[in-house]
Amino acid sequence: METLHFSAFPRLRAILFFSAWSGCWIRDCFREAIDASPSFPWEQVDYPAVIAFKTALLTKAAVAFFDSTSPAPQVAYQQFCGENAAWLDDFALFMAVKNALGGVAWTRWPPEIAWRQPLAISQWSNRLATEIEVIKYWQFEFFHQWQTLRAYAHDRGVQVIGDIPIYVAHDSADVWTNRSLFSLDDQGNPLKVAGVPPDYFSATGQLWGNPIYNWTLLEKTGFRWWIDRFQSAMRLYDIMRIDHFRGFEAHWEVPGTDTTAVNGQWIKGPGAALFTVLQAELGQLPVIAENLGRITPEVEAIRHQFGFPGMAILQFGFGTDEQSHTFRPHNLVRELVAYTGMHDNDTIAGWWSSQGDAGDSISTPEEVKKEHTFARSYLNFSDEPVHWAFIRAVLASVADTAIVPLQDLLGLGSEARMNLPRTSSGNWRWRAKPGVFTPELAAQLGQLALLYER
């Protein structure tokens, strides 16, 4: 089967589309409103406008749903709520309270609900009962639509890859509900936060700000929280890419009050113990391990022990980093997923046209020029567009799986970049226009797929 990588999957929650539940009642009820939708840009997602427009429609859809006398959707809704109560009840309450309090972080809520006192949980649940049901309905509709989309993909021989980020946001239902599983102070603020040391993307490292796990307590609970997390992901995806896999062996821990990641230190994580428990509970995990950055022999030993393929990024193969040579096609092995570039990279065309010192890496103009010269020599191309030279090299490699981001397939520049590490706004906005995947482009890609037995 082919694979489709929804690395931006969580953001789909903000851009729900309408499907017909047991017919076309949603579409018919709201046809006028949908037809009168604002003119959103094709090239970029305008998140504030999309969220405002669709939240209003989804709220109306929820009211119509609960007023409907059709029994089948109601039965399906109740079944969904029962099967997902372990996370859905807390999530819906968290979001309802957060909305009622103007969106402030849970550490700024009234203390009784911030600290989940039983009486406060009961009072807020009663007070916001309608809002909670609306949020549950949105989740119900989303999961129904997602499984419909996934079935559509499966019918056409397409698998879906989704991410499991190693960390969760501090201001989240996960942390609010399970505070003891994270390193927090008495006010609920992170004592230590996650990041990575200075690297290709930043001379001061990347300060992600996510709270660090209390791995000692997690291990005492048999890693139950992680088992549930993987189990949920396996119901959504065919293959799971574990983001920042090396953090399970050792993570970069930064004081919670620091403003850069420079003063962090490597702290040991659960290592193989976590994945031993996960495989015993869930069987062989369909995982891709994101083993980028400062990867040690200990990290690779865990990956090989459990048979997780790693990643190779061709765009990283031509620099001066000590690991660059491992990303070149002649050094790859079969147990890898090879990419032209990934969501954290500039596009291939954007990288090729950059001059260095552009704010997206620590490479100097001289180093960038050397990278480009080496890449042209290594890939042996002159008139061929650079993105096709990269695509050809990745598909020709021995790596079991090859992934080409759509931006690289289309030869787009930096304007189509998906994410710029260490920045918190303006990312994950790029959209493909309708019709960009032309028959001619499909034929060109198909020829290479046949040639290299992909």
> Annotated active-site positions, please?
243, 290, 344
- Cα 297 to Cα 265, 300, 394, distances in angstroms: 18, 5, 25
439 Cβ contact list (under 8 Å, min separation 6):
none
Contact 205, 197 (CB under 8 A): yes
Nearest CA to 238 among 148, 308, 159? 159
Residue 120, burial from CB neighbour count under 10 angstroms (0-12, 13-18, 19+): middle
- Residue 182: beta bridge partners? 213
Give 317's DSSP letter.
G
- Ordered DSSP codes for 67-97: H---HHHHHHHHHHHHHTHHHHHHHHHHHHH
203 Cβ contact list (under 8 Å, min separation 6):
362
Residue 290 token pair: 């994101």
Strand ranges (E), 33-173: 158-165
The span from the CA of 293 to the CA of 274, in Å, is 21
The span from the CA of 180 to the CA of 115, in Å, is 11
The span from the CA of 37 to the CA of 50, in Å, is 10
Beta strand pairing call for 2-6 and 158-165: parallel
- Give counts: helices (H), strands (E), the chain: 18, 11
